[in-house]
A and B are shown apart, each in its own frame.
Chain A
Amino acid sequence: MLLGDLLGKPLVIDGKEIILVDDRISDIGVVGAEIDTLVEIEPPDGVSPGFYISEPSLVAIRTSYPDHTMYGLWQALYHSGMLSGAEFVFLPFNENSGRYAQLEKQGDTWIPVISDVVTGGTLADGITEVSDVYRLDVDPSLLVLPDEQAMLHRERTAMIQQRSRRRYWQTAIVIGLIAVVGAIYEGAMMLSHSSQVSLIEDLRAEQRSLNERIGTLTRTRLLNEPDYNQTLERIFHLHTIDPGLETAQASRFDDDVILLLSRDTLPFLKTIDWVVPEITDDGGVAVVLSGE
């Protein structure tokens, strides 16, 4: 396609109606009043030298197409990977005029350096004939739209301010979300803690109540009933053998009951399996009954 078919007219690319504008590669070589009217479409990115356009020409197109998105032609070609293969790439208006870009090969990559106007069949150096350079035939359907669009200075300023505001809003929202998540977490922890405290208090109250009940039962019931039957029966049994038996000092039911019997009872005592008779110093017999 000729440049006249590409520039300043609505084209549908990627399903979107856009306008390609007559931009330039790099701002090197721009002099005089033109510098003040130059608008940056896309800044240099370390590889490309950036893309620029004269603001008055952009204003003129914007007036005709106020709602269309605009992109630089060289910018679009660069992002579509079409600027490669030769040192000079020519886009014709006709046989002798048009635009060209000078490329530089760095390794395997072609880097755009500058662009300029072709008039009278020669490039800006006045030597190279346009018929000797690579002529690029652009198929709009193969173009890839760049991220950055061409804008008037005031549009770009407004966009930057809008983006900046959006970033502040996004930051505020993230901070708000963090605060909300923190508050929810804290609330959940407080709830969990108070629930745990409440549970422990309930358990302690239950325990107090049970302990009071135990205290009441302890004061109204005989929990460990003593059993003296066996001891009483054995004393009675030994008393039948020796009605004169006596107890030793400090005989107690809750310790030992020591019974002192006559020596004559020894043969009988030896026949009783639960008796272990002991001869005392005075010749008597002692029998110890262990308490409960």
Chain B
Amino acid sequence: MRLDINLEKLKKDQQLLALCGVVIGFAFLIFFLLQTREESRPTVQGEAQLRTEIRAAKDDIADMSQKSSLDSVEGYWIALFEAASLSGLELVNSRVPDDQRYRGPLQSRTGVIEGETAVVLSTLHYLSKRIPLFLYSIKIQGPVTEVTVSVVGV
């Protein structure tokens, strides 16, 4: 049997193979480069979480906006002082332990209101509906009552 070796065809095939190799190699190189670029990009996540938090924050703002804005704490303190004086009570601007005073984001002033028990109770009952008032310790002894109060404002 005759062995036919066509050098031209072989050469052409070799050229085709080489060129195919170049194309495939280049395609792999591009693929590798693209993959490396993709992996090197910082991942961007958390969009859903952010949207949830923003929605919650908007809801909070809507709720908080329903509340009326406070006046200055000094104004409330004066109102408290005047109400106490009118009722015959004494408001003492004294130092109190931290756990017996307002601790929060608002400005505050703390004191002890002192006087006859019924008057103290009714005065505080009246004022708590009109000014931002926080009550802490209460001490009733004999006819006299002492209550530690904080007023808050801006």
CB distance from A82 to the nearest CB of B (A): 22
* Proximity bits, A232-249, B CB within 8 Å = 1, else 0: 110110010001111100
What's the Cα separation between A71 and B91 when bound, in Å? 124
Other-chain contact of B61, A214, A235, A245, A257 (Cβ < 8 Å): A214
Q: A236 — which chain B residues lie within 8 A by C-beta?
A: 118, 121-122, 125
Other-chain contact of A189, B38, B118, B135, B137 (Cβ < 8 Å): B38
A35 proximal to B (CB < 8 A): no
What's the Cα separation between A189 and B19 when bound, in Å? 30
CB distance from B10 to the nearest CB of A (A): 10
What's the Cα separation between A153 and B58 when bound, in Å? 85
Query: Are the CB atoms of A203 and B54 closer together than 8 Å?
Result: yes
Query: Are the CB atoms of A228 and B44 closer together than 8 Å?
Result: no
Interface residues in A169-205 by Cβ distance below 8 A to B read 170-171, 174-175, 178-179, 182, 185-186, 189, 193, 196-197, 199-200, 203-204
Query: Are the CB atoms of A232 and B121 closer together than 8 Å?
Result: yes
Interface residues in B36-85 by Cβ distance below 8 A to A read 37-38, 41, 44, 46-47, 50-51, 53-54, 57-58, 60-61, 64-65, 67-70
Check A226/B54 contact, CB under 8 A, given A174-B23, A185-B34. no
Query: Are the CB atoms of A251 and B135 closer together than 8 Å?
Result: no
Q: B113 — which chain A residues lie within 8 A by C-beta?
A: none
Q: A206 — which chain B residues lie within 8 A by C-beta?
A: 54
Query: Are the CB atoms of A44 and B4 closer together than 8 Å?
Result: yes
Query: Are the CB atoms of A182 and B34 closer together than 8 Å?
Result: yes
Q: B26 — which chain A residues lie within 8 A by C-beta?
A: 175, 178-179
Query: Are the CB atoms of A220 and B47 closer together than 8 Å?
Result: no
Query: Are the CB atoms of A197 and B44 closer together than 8 Å?
Result: yes
* Proximity bits, B98-110, A CB within 8 Å = 1, else 0: 0010000110000
Q: B142 — which chain A residues lie within 8 A by C-beta?
A: 244, 246
What's the Cα separation between A243 and B105 when bound, in Å? 39
| Residues of chain B at interface, number, CB under 8 A | 63
What's the Cα separation between A118 and B133 when bound, in Å? 132
Interface residues in B82-135 by Cβ distance below 8 A to A read 100, 105-106, 117-118, 121-122, 124-125, 128-129, 132-135
Query: Are the CB atoms of A246 and B140 closer together than 8 Å?
Result: yes
Q: A239 — which chain B residues lie within 8 A by C-beta?
A: 117-118, 121, 140
Query: Are the CB atoms of A235 and B19 closer together than 8 Å?
Result: no
Query: Are the CB atoms of B137 and A251 closer together than 8 Å?
Result: yes
A45 proximal to B (CB < 8 A): yes
Other-chain contact of B50, A203, A213, A221, A225 (Cβ < 8 Å): A203
A164 proximal to B (CB < 8 A): yes
Check A182/B64 contact, CB under 8 A, given A43-B6, A199-B47, A218-B105. no
Of listed B12, B44, B60, residue having the most chain A CB within 10 A? B44
Other-chain contact of B140, A46, A185, A245 (Cβ < 8 Å): A245
What's the Cα separation between A50 and B2 when bound, in Å? 12
What's the Cα separation between A46 and B146 when bound, in Å? 119
CB distance from B23 to the nearest CB of A (A): 5
Contacts from B to A (Cβ < 8 Å) = 2, 4, 6, 8-9, 12, 15-16, 19, 22-23, 26-27, 30-31, 33-34, 37-38, 41, 44, 46-47, 50-51, 53-54, 57-58, 60-61, 64-65, 67-70, 100, 105-106, 117-118, 121-122, 124-125, 128-129, 132-143, 147, 152, 154
7 contacts between A and B (CB under 8 A): A44-B6, A200-B44, A203-B51, A214-B61, A217-B64, A228-B135, A247-B139
Other than the given A160-B8, A182-B30, A228-B133, 6 more pairs (CB < 8 A) read: A171-B23, A196-B44, A210-B61, A217-B64, A223-B64, A257-B138
Closest A-B pairs by Cβ, 7 of them: A44-B4, A210-B57, A253-B135, A182-B30, A43-B6, A217-B64, A221-B67
